[in-house]
Amino acid sequence: MSDLLLTTHAPTAEATAAAQAKTAQPLVMIVDDHADTREMLKYVIERSGCRVVEASDGEEAVRLARSRPPNLILMDIVLPRLDGYKVTERIREIEGLRQTTIIFLSGRAEPKSREMAFAVGGNDYFLKPIDLRELELALRKYLMLSGSPA
C-alpha cells in the first residue's frame, strides 16, 4: 500500500485580500499628501458605504496597494517621493491591480496633465476643488454601488 501525500496550497496574501475585497465593502485608497483633503474624501467615501485606506506619499501608495489591494484609487498628482503618474505606472505593473480604477484628483487644469494621467493608466480625471456630489456619483459608477447620493 502506498502512502498518499496530500498537499494544499495556501492562497497568497494578494489573493486573500482580493477575495476579501470582493465579499466585503469596496476598499478605496486615497493618495494625497494633504491630511485635510484625505479627511474630507474619507468622509464622502465612507458615507457611500466603502472602506478607506490612506497614503500620504507615492512610495507608501505602492506598498499599500500591494498589501491591501483596493477596488478604486483616488490619486493626487503632486506627491512626495513619487508623483501620481509614477505611482500609477507602478501600480499598473502589479498583477491583480492592472484593472483597478484610478481616478486622478488634481488642481492642474492644463490639458497636458490630463493627457498624461490617461496615458499612464488613469480612468478618470477630476479637478480640485472636487465637487463632492460628482465624486459620489463616480464612486457609484465605478464600484457599482446601489442607492443614490445623499
- The residues spanned by each domain of the chain are 15-141
Give the pLDDT mean for 29-36. 98
CATH 3.40.50.2300 fits 15-141, yes or no: yes
Q: What distance separates the 2 farthest-apart alpha carbons in the chain?
A: 75
- Three-point CA angle 143, 52, 14, nearest 5°: 80
Split at pLDDT 50, 70, 90, the class of 11 is very low
In tens, the pLDDT along 38-56 reads 999 999 999 999 999 999 9
In tens, the pLDDT along 97-141 reads 999 999 999 999 999 999 999 999 999 999 999 999 999 999 999
- Three-point CA angle 89, 49, 58, nearest 5°: 25
